[in-house]
Amino acid sequence: MFSSLEYTIKWVHSVLGYRTSTHVPRDADGMALVRDKKFCIVERTGGELDYPHDSPSFAVQIWSQSESDAEQDANILAIATKTVPMNDYHINAVGIPDVLSYGLMEGGWFVWQVNLDLEVNLLDKSN
């Protein structure tokens, strides 16, 4: 069965080019520990599952030592939904993204978030 979470993590990484996962990296306790001084967290925040269709909502958080970098990368990711489309045949549609700022978080990280809504077919072509 298709994993929209796994695919979204790979797509975000391909667009932004830095560490992307479902959790804060262990070495993020001190800002200087994360090599690129940026990372992304992808989490499913909801959405209907009506097999074989799925309508997941994802929150993609961009964590950076620089607020302007976090904002820029959030905007780049939102724009990429149109310019670098998710090209897997399971993805039927990508909604218009929302972009918001959480500001300065504990540990000195600036966090911006992009909310993505997808329409997904869970079945493989062979089914």
Peptide bond into 52 cis (omega under 30): yes
Residue 126 falls inside a structural domain: no
Q: Is residue 41 situated within a structural domain?
A: yes
For all residues of the chain together, what is the average pLDDT? 92
Looking at the structure of the chain, the number of domains it has is 1
Could you identify the residue written with the tokens 């306790």? Answer: 29
pLDDT at 119 over 90: yes
Question: What's the CATH code of the domain at 28?
Answer: 3.30.2000.10
C-alpha distances (whole Å) from 123 to each of 44, 77, 91, 117, 119 are: 19, 27, 11, 19, 13
Eight-class DSSP state of 86: -
Please check whether residue 80 lies inside any domain of the structure.
yes
Domain that holds residue 17: 4-121
**In Å, how far are 43, 80, 87, 91, 127 from 94, measured between CA atoms?**
16, 11, 11, 8, 23
- Angle, helices 4-16 vs 67-83, to 10°: value is 120
| pLDDT tens, position by position, 17-44 | 999 999 988 766 654 455 568 999 999 9
Looking at residue 35, its pLDDT comes to: 59
Residue 127, domain member (yes or no) = no
The yes-or-no verdict on residue 67 having pLDDT over 70 is yes
68 has a pLDDT exceeding 70 = yes
